[in-house]
């Protein structure tokens, strides 16, 4: 918990322009993304460059993965290059267990399958803190494909630990059994933060059986239900947003939306995490 507070404080200082960026000059980071990513991948790259690190971005398509090299051997290869930091995103849940004790380079998890997305959670928490000043006691609602969302799984764990009351809503087949369900309308009426989540089509075995319009009417934020939200409540989304599915097009950048602020915070949070990890190296 202290570690989280420390990283969030540093991130806020970076955000406020109070911290010196040039603290990791010349250290080498390799960004290994085995799954597509825009926000996470490029905000890590921007964070590294702001910290004056040298950045190598791995391209799966032009690598020996194409010659059937395994995930493990690819990571071991980068580890042997003698670099300072690996940022890894993988399809595989808890991929880091396979690496534990077998590589020397420090690793930051940039998302593993449906399990965890720790830096997303940190930037979500920073965004909420900037709004309310605290997390404890806040009512936070996550809506959508909870079951396949690593963002939901990370947030459920960490936000509860920080004392928030976390609720979930969405289609029955995408709910987690051990989280507290609330119907969307009740959640909008009572929660301070509403985190909308993308339907994770790429992780489904069964075909998604609903039109986007029907999904938006039942489980999205739309012009009919946004009026239920509390006065000072906010809408968040980790992105990418499917406009007119999770959120109606005209509401993505509405006055309650903090979606682009989350993106901005992503850079500062990732700078803080990198700095925390490499500071005493
Ligand atoms: N960008 C987030 C993730 O990587 C959310 C999403 O893709 O829906 O998990």
Condensed to tens digits (0 to 9), the pLDDT of residues 46-63 reads 999 999 999 999 988 888
Nearest CA to ligand 1 atom 8: 198
For the whole model, what pTM was predicted? 0.96
Q: Is 237 in the pocket of ligand 1 (CB under 6 A)?
A: no
Q: How far apart are the first and last CA of the chain?
A: 22
> Which of the 8 DSSP states describes residue 207?
P
pLDDT at 19: 81
Q: Which atom of ligand 1 is nearest to the CA of 89?
A: 4
Contact 105, 84 (CB under 8 A): yes
**Please, what sign has the CA dihedral across residues 145, 147, 149, 154?**
positive
Q: How large a percentage of the chain has pLDDT more than 70?
A: 99
- Mapped onto helix, strand or coil, the DSSP state of residue 260 is helix
What domains are there in the chain, each with its CATH number? 2-115+264-279 (3.40.50.1370), 118-258 (3.40.50.1370)
Q: Cα separation of 176 and 172, whole Å?
A: 9
Q: Cα separation of 187 and 193, whole Å?
A: 10
Q: Is 187 in the pocket of ligand 1 (CB under 6 A)?
A: no
pLDDT at 65: 84
Contact 237, 195 (CB under 8 A): yes
Taking residues 28-45, what's their average pLDDT? Answer: 97
The pLDDT confidence band at residue 280, using thresholds 50, 70 and 90, is low
> Which of the 8 DSSP states describes residue 74?
H
Please state, rounded to an integer, the average pLDDT across all residues of the chain. 95
């Amino acid at each position: 918990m202290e570690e989280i507070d420390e990283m969030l404080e540093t991130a806020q200082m970076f955000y406020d322009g109070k911290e010196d960026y040039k603290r990791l000059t010349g250290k080498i980071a390799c960004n290994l993304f085995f799954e597509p990513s825009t926000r996470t991948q490029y905000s890590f790259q921007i964070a590294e460059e702001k910290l004056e690190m040298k950045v190598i971005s791995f391209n799966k398509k032009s690598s020996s993965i194409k010659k059937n090299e395994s995930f493990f051997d690819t990571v071991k290869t980068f580890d042997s290059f003698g670099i300072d930091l690996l940022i890894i995103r993988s399809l595989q849940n808890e991929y880091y267990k396979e690496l534990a004790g077998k590589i020397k380079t420090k690793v930051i998890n940039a998302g593993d399958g449906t399990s965890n997305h720790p830096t997303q959670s940190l930037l979500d928490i920073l965004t909420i803190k900037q709004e309310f000043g605290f997390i404890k006691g806040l009512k936070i609602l996550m809506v959508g494909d909870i079951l396949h969302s690593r963002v939901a799984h990370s947030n459920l764990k960490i936000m509860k630990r920080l004392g928030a009351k976390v609720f979930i809503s969405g289609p029955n087949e995408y709910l987690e059994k051990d989280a507290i369900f609330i119907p969307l309308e009740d959640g909008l009426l009572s929660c301070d933060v509403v985190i909308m989540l993308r339907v994770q089509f790429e992780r489904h075995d069964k075909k998604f059986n609903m039109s986007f319009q029907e999904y938006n009417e039942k489980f999205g934020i739309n012009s009919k239900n946004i009026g239920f939200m509390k006065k000072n409540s906010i809408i968040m989304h980790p992105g990418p947003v499917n406009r007119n599915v999770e959120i109606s097009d005209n509401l993505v950048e509405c006055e309650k939306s903090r979606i682009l602020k989350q993106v901005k915070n992503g850079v500062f949070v990732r700078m803080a995490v990198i700095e925390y990890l490499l500071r005493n190296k």
